[in-house]
C-alpha cells in the first residue's frame, strides 16, 4: 500500500490515542489541504488539553466523537484503526469497498530500512529494549518503536535503508498484517487478550503473522521450549534460530546478568542472537547487558522496607506469568497480591502452584480474586495448609496487610494474574500505586 494510495481517499483516523495522534500528524504533513476525519468513543472534553487544543485549532478536520462514533465509518474510503479497537466491532458499519488498515501495516509496507519484530505473550518489551541497547552498543543506527518505543509513521520521513527498527508487536498490531519483519522473534504464547480475540487459536494465529510472510533470506528466532513457538517455526520460510540459555555463558557470566527468572534469560538469549546476526562483538554485547536496567512493573524490585522485600510485577496479567514469578522468587515469597479485571482466564494451574508453594498470605482484588480463591478452595485437599486470604478494594489496604502479615527477610509480590481495568486505568497505574504505598507505609 504505497503512500500515494491515500492521496484521493477520504480518510478516517479511528482512535485518537498515542498512535492516532501520530497518524494525524503524519497525514497532515503528507496532505496539508486534505480534510481528515477523527473518530473516538471519548468526547472532546475527555482529551488532555494539548490534544483537544490540536483538534480545535485544525480547521481541516471532521470530528466524530462520543458513543456513536462508529456511525461515521460509512462516510470514508480508508479507516486507519488504532490497535486497541477490536475489528469485530467495526464489521456492522463497513462495506466491502472500504479499506481498514493500521499504522503498523502502513509502516511495514513503506519502510525502506530493516525491521526486527518481537512477538509473544511475555517479555516483548524487555527483549526489544535489550536488542535496542545491544545494537546501539554496536554503533548500529537503531530506533526503538511500537508499544515500548515511539509511534512509527512520522519516522518514515527520515527513514533510510540503513535504519534498523526494533518493533515490539502485540497480537492487535499483527492480526491483519500481510508482511513480516526481516528478523522475527517469537518468545512464547499463553492464552491472553481473549476479550479481544474470539479464542486462543485466533490470538495465536495473529501472533504467527510475525513470521508467516517471511522470505528465505529472513531470520526467525524462537523459543524451542514453547510448543506454540515450535509449531510456528514450521510455517515460515526464514532461516530458523532456536534460542538457548546455555549460549549466554559464551557472552556473560550468569551472576552478572541484571535480570531475574529463567524467562528473562530466554529473552536475553534472543537479544544476543540478534547481536550475533549484526556481528556485534561479545565484548560490546556483554557491556550492553551489564548496563541494562530492568523495566518497571516486570518483577521490579521496589526495595526493602521494615525488613520485607517488595516486588512489583503489575504487568503480570495472566496466570502463567504469575506462576513464573512465583518460581523465580521461590521459598522466600510469603505474601502475594492477586486479582483484577475479569477476562475469563483459567486459574487452575495458578491455584496448584500457590498450594505447592511457601506462600502464607494471599491478598485479593476484585473481580478475579474471588474466583482464584474459589479455585484454591476446590483443590485444598491436596495441600497440608491453606494460606490466609484477605479481600480488598484499595491498594493502600492491600499494602498495609502486606506489612502486617509478612515476616522480616521474606518477600511480598504484586503479581495479579489479571488485567487492571476495573480498579485502575492500566497496569502502570496499578504498579505505581503499589510502589507509592509500599514506600509511604514503610516510613511509618
Structure confidence by residue, pLDDT tens digits, 251-303: 999 999 999 999 999 999 999 999 999 999 999 999 999 999 999 999 999 99
Residue 53: burial class (beta carbons within 10 Å; 0-12, 13-18, 19+): exposed
Contacts of 285 (CB under 8 A, 6+ apart): 134, 137, 138, 251, 252, 272, 275
* Cell numbers 550475533: residue: 276
DSSP secondary structure string, 40-62?
A: ESS-GGGS-HHHHHHHHH-SSEE
Q: What is the mean pLDDT of the chain?
A: 95
3-class DSSP state of 259: coil
What are the residue boundaries of the structural domains of the chain, listed by start?
A: 9-97, 106-291, 300-442
Any long-range contacts for 192-195 (C-beta under 8 Å, 24+ apart)?
Answer: 192/121, 192/317, 192/318, 193/343, 194/343, 194/344, 194/345, 195/343, 195/344
When pLDDT is averaged across residues 162-180 and rounded to a whole number, the result is 96
Q: Cα–Cα distances in Å, from 161 out to 165, 168, 416?
A: 11, 20, 43
Note the CATH number of domain 106-291.
3.40.1190.10
Neighbours of 368 (CB within 10 A): 25
Q: Residue 198: pLDDT above 90? A: no
C-alpha cell at 258: 541484571
When pLDDT is averaged across residues 436-443 and rounded to a whole number, the result is 97
Confidence of residue 383 (pLDDT cuts 50, 70, 90): low
Q: Residue 390: pLDDT above 80? A: yes
When pLDDT is averaged across residues 27-45 and rounded to a whole number, the result is 94
* C-alpha to C-alpha distance for 275 and 284, rounded to whole angstroms: 9
Question: What pLDDT score was predicted for residue 137?
Answer: 97
When pLDDT is averaged across residues 158-185 and rounded to a whole number, the result is 97
What would you report as the CA-atom Rg of the chain, rounded to the nearest whole angstrom?
23
Q: Residue 380: pLDDT above 90? A: no
Q: Using one digit for the tens of pLDDT, what is the confidence trace for 324-345?
A: 999 999 999 999 999 999 998 9
Confidence of residue 107 (pLDDT cuts 50, 70, 90): very high
Was domain 9-97 assigned CATH 3.40.50.720?
yes
Question: What pLDDT score was predicted for residue 284?
Answer: 98
- Same-fold call for 9-97 versus 300-442: no
Note the CATH number of domain 300-442.
3.90.190.20
Q: Residue 233: pLDDT above 80? A: yes
Question: What pLDDT score was predicted for residue 102?
Answer: 97
Amino acid at each position: 500500500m504505497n503512500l500515494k494510495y491515500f492521496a484521493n481517499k477520504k480518510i478516517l483516523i479511528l482512535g485518537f490515542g498515542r498512535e492516532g495522534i501520530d497518524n494525524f500528524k503524519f497525514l497532515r504533513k503528507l496532505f496539508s489541504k486534505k480534510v481528515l476525519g477523527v473518530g473516538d468513543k471519548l468526547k472532546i472534553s475527555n482529551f488532555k488539553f494539548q490534544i483537544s487544543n490540536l483538534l480545535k485549532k485544525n480547521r481541516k478536520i471532521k470530528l466524530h466523537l462520543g458513543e456513536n462514533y462508529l456511525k461515521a465509518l460509512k462516510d470514508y474510503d480508508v479507516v486507519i484503526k488504532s490497535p486497541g479497537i477490536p475489528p469485530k466491532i467495526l464489521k456492522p458499519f463497513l462495506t466491502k469497498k472500504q479499506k481498514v488498515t493500521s499504522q503498523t501495516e502502513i509502516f511495514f509496507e513503506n519502510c525502506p530500512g530493516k525491521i526486527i519484530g518481537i512477538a509473544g505473550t511475555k517479555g516483548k518489551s524487555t527483549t526489544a529494549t535489550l536488542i535496542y541497547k545491544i545494537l546501539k552498543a554496536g554503533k548500529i543506527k537503531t530506533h526503538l518503536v511500537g508499544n515500548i518505543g515511539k509511534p512509527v509513521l512520522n519516522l518514515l520521513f527520515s527513514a533510510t535503508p540503513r535504519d534498523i527498527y526494533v518493533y515490539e508487536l502485540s497480537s492487535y498490531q499483527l492480526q491483519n498484517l500481510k508482511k513480516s519483519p526481516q528478523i522475527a522473534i517469537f518468545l512464547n504464547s499463553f492464552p491472553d487478550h481473549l476479550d479481544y480475540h474470539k479464542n486462543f487459536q485466533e490470538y495465536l494465529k495473529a501472533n504467527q503473522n510475525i513470521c508467516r510472510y517471511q522470505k528465505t533470506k529472513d531470520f526467525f528466532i524462537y523459543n524451542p521450549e514453547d510448543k506454540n513457538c515450535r509449531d510456528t517455526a514450521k510455517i515460515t520460510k526464514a532461516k530458523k534460530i532456536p534460542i538457548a540459555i546455555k549460549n549466554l555463558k559464551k557472552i556473560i557470566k550468569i551472576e552478572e546478568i541484571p535480570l531475574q527468572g529463567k524467562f528473562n534469560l530466554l529473552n536475553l538469549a534472543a537479544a544476543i542472537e540478534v547481536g550475533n546476526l549484526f556481528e556485534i562483538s561479545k565484548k560490546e554485547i556483554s557491556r550492553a547487558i551489564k548496563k541494562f536496567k530492568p523495566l518497571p512493573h516486570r518483577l521490579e524490585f521496589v526495595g526493602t522496607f521494615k525488613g520485607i522485600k517488595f516486588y512489583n510485577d503489575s504487568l503480570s496479567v495472566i496466570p502463567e506469568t504469575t506462576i513464573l514469578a512465583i518460581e523465580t522468587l521461590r521459598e522466600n515469597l510469603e505474601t502475594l497480591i492477586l486479582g483484577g479485571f475479569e477476562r475469563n482466564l483459567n486459574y487452575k494451574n495458578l491455584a496448584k502452584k500457590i498450594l505447592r508453594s511457601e506462600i502464607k498470605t494471599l491478598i485479593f482484588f476484585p473481580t478475579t480474586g474471588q474466583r482464584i480463591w474459589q479455585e484454591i478452595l476446590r483443590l485444598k485437599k491436596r495441600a497440608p495448609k491453606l494460606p490466609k486470604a484477605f479481600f480488598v478494594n484499595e491498594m493502600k489496604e492491600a499494602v498495609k496487610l502486606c506489612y502486617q502479615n509478612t515476616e522480616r527477610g521474606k518477600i511480598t509480590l504484586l503479581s495479579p494474574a489479571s488485567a487492571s481495568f476495573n480498579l485502575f486505568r492500566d497496569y502502570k497505574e496499578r504498579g505505581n500505586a503499589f510502589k507509592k504505598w509500599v514506600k509511604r507505609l514503610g516510613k511509618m
